[in-house]
Amino acid sequence: NFMLTQPHSVSESPGKTVTISCTRSSGSIASNYVQWYQQRPGSSPTTVIYEDNQRPSGVPDRFSGSIDSSSNSASLTISGLKTEDEADYYCQSYDSSNWVFGGGTKLTVL
Amino acid sequence: EVQLVQSGAEVKKPGESLKISCKGSGYSFTSYWIGWVRQMPGKGLEWMGIIYPGDSDTRYSPSFQGQVTISADKSISTAYLQWSSLKASDTAMYYCARLNSAYFDYWGQGTLVTVSS
């Protein structure tokens, strides 16, 4: 089994750009799709990025995803930050019928 | 509209059994895997297992194998998560979610389980 490691927290000002990383401990990051979920306090998670870089309908194009094989990591980038983006963000991937979530990153927009 | 509606909050004592539910609607329930995810208070998301309601094929996370049982009744489009003997450490929010290829695209509202003597 593998792990996905995320920074515990990040903070940035409204209007700026922030990037959250997600590093896979073993196996290639490119071998299985990476997803990103947003969870606001008291709410269920929702998908903001799936299959590495795809946005579900309704998710603004301020959200983008990418993977970097050299660092074996995935990234979620949010540009033009808004206060409503303040939430916990989780990356997720899988292999061999085992789905794994990262530990989550708390994004503060201040 | 795809919806997953979970059963209500539960308060139980250690050693008691429990079965919570997740009812799907707005799509072909037998054509998508349903997963269960635990979120302990103030903590992150943990994948527990998945079930394919079409044939009840079930996979468990190694961390939860033997600790819970996942089942489904396709006749009423409902998936279940059950415990035979609850522990205080089972106190958490539990979410069901539909698996669409590689990711969970629709989530239930969550069921809060509190285990306390």
Substitution target from B5, B22, B103 for chain A, most A beta carbons within 10 A: B103
Give the mean model confidence (pLDDT) for residues B57-64.
95
Pair B79, B95: CB distance under 8 Å:
no
Residue A99, φ and ψ in degrees, nearest 5:
-100, 135
Pair A81, A98: CB distance under 8 Å:
no
d(CA A7, CA A106): 8
Percent of chain B with pLDDT over 90: 98
Pair A54, A99: CB distance under 8 Å:
no
Q: Does A98 touch chain B (CB under 8 A)?
A: yes
Substitution target from B45, B61, B111 for chain A, most A beta carbons within 10 A: B45
Q: Does A46 touch chain B (CB under 8 A)?
A: yes
pLDDT at B30: 97
pLDDT at A1: 84
Substitution target from A99, A101, A105 for chain B, most B beta carbons within 10 A: A99
Beta strands (DSSP E) in B26-91 are 33-39, 45-52, 57-60, 69-73, 78-83
Give the mean model confidence (pLDDT) for residues B50-61.
96
Query: A99 vs B101: CB contact, 8 Å cut-off?
Result: no
Whether B101 has a pLDDT exceeding 90, the answer reads: no
Give the mean model confidence (pLDDT) for residues B40-49.
97
Q: Note the pLDDT tens digit of each residue in B73-84.
A: 999 999 999 999
Q: Count CB-CB contacts under 10 A for residue A21.
A: 18
Query: A102 vs B50: CB contact, 8 Å cut-off?
Result: no
Q: List chain A pLDDT tens, one digit each, 110 residues.
A: 899 999 999 999 999 999 999 999 999 999 999 999 999 999 999 999 999 999 999 999 999 999 999 999 999 999 999 999 999 999 999 988 899 999 999 999 99
Across the interface, which of B50, B62, B103 has its CB nearest the CB of A92?
A: B103
Across the interface, which of A50, A94, A101 has its CB nearest the CB of B44?
A: A101
Query: A99 vs B95: CB contact, 8 Å cut-off?
Result: no
